[in-house]
Structures are given as structure tokens and as C-alpha cells.
Amino acid sequence: MFNQIRPAIVMTILFTLLTGLAYPLAITGVGQLAFPAQANGSRLERDGVVVGSALIGQDFTEPGYFWARPSAAGDVPYNGAASSGSNYGATDARLVQRVAGTVASLGSSPVPADAATTSASGLDPDISPANARLQLARVAAARGVGLPVLETLLGQMTETPMLGIFGEPHVNVLALNLALDKMAPMAR
């Protein structure tokens, strides 16, 4: 009987070592060698201190900063532990009311969709260039910087679609705000 069980035990141990240890270590090593920034969380730094990730949005609320799209990640915006969308249907009264309130608070028309709607994860770090342009006047007034200067910065920070065809132009809000702080620090 042991002759029949022994191969099963050996194969279980072998595949546990292979798929549970060797493969993850090999993939981690390849990731660290080929894509070190991405493998370590796409961290963004200011003065040598990590201030966030290029992959996770942050809740900027001061008028002198560009704001990310609304977050549906629970009671604390951009909380990675509560990542989710609202799951409201397009005709749900709560969604319609929230979007209408956001559009009314922005006070301009037309409002880009990503300025009033949440992303599926609630953690989206990027906004559309149209959303960023909608915020230019507020940021310029709060920083005391001319609109042409901010428009130039926005143009420099706008990322194009991958390979020119996949996705839409977008702006990483944290990277834009870090560049803004470097260019025109806010008086504190």
C-alpha cells in the first residue's frame, strides 16, 4: 500500500516546492530586474520621502491642488482597504442625486464625466485633461500663478495613450501636484 501512496506524497511535495516557492521567487526576481519601479509599487517621492503611489489616487481637497475624480471607496476616500465602486445602477436615484450635486458644485458646463463619476475601484489616480482644465482657474487663483503657466505644466504632464492607440490621454493627479509644488510652492 505504501508503494501506491509514496508517489502521491512525493509529487505533492515536489509541486508544492515548485509552484509554491520556486515559481513565485523566479517571477519576483524577473519583476525586480525588468520592472523595478512597478514591482515596488510605482512610488512617487518628494525630497527623498515617499508620498504616494502613481497607481492609487489621493484625496486632495485644498484649492491650490488638482483634485482627483470622486472616490467610492467607503467613508474614507481612496482607502485601499475599502476599494470598490458604488454599485449603483445608472438610473438609481442615489447615483443621479450625487452626480447632479457634484455637477452643480463645479458650477461650469459641460462637466467631464470623470469630474462627477467615480471609478470602478474608487482609487483611480488619473483624470482626463478636460477635468484638469476645468480646475485650472481655481488652482491658478489659489497659487497666484498665471493660467498660461499651468496650461503648459498640464500639457507636459498629460500622458498619451499607450502605443498611441490604447486608452485615452490622462493626467496622474499626484504627479501633477508634485510638479506643481516644485514649480510654484504654496505659502503655508
What phi, psi does 22 have (nearest 5°)? -65, -50
Rounded mean pLDDT, 58-87:
81
**pTM here?**
0.78
- Local confidence band at 80 (pLDDT 50, 70, 90 cut-offs): confident
Which pLDDT score, from 0 to 100, does residue 188 have?
55
Which pLDDT score, from 0 to 100, does residue 187 have?
61
Which pLDDT score, from 0 to 100, does residue 104 have?
86
| Residue 169 cell numbers, joined | 490621454
pLDDT in tens, 10-52: 999 999 999 999 999 999 999 999 999 888 888 888 888 888 8
Q: How many CB atoms lie within 10 A of CB 128?
A: 18
| Residue 20 cell numbers, joined | 509554491
- Yes or no: say if 42 and 53 are a contact pair by the CB < 8 Å rule: yes
Percent of the chain at pLDDT > 70 equals 97
- Yes or no: say if 115 and 71 are a contact pair by the CB < 8 Å rule: no
Q: 126-127 and 170-172 as β-strands: parallel, antiparallel, unpaired?
A: antiparallel
**Helices H, strands E: what count in the chain?**
8, 5
What does the alpha-carbon distance between residue 104 and residue 151 come to, in Å, rounded to a whole number? 24
Query: Chain centroid to CA 100: how far?
Result: 24
pLDDT in tens, 151-177: 999 999 999 998 888 999 999 999 999
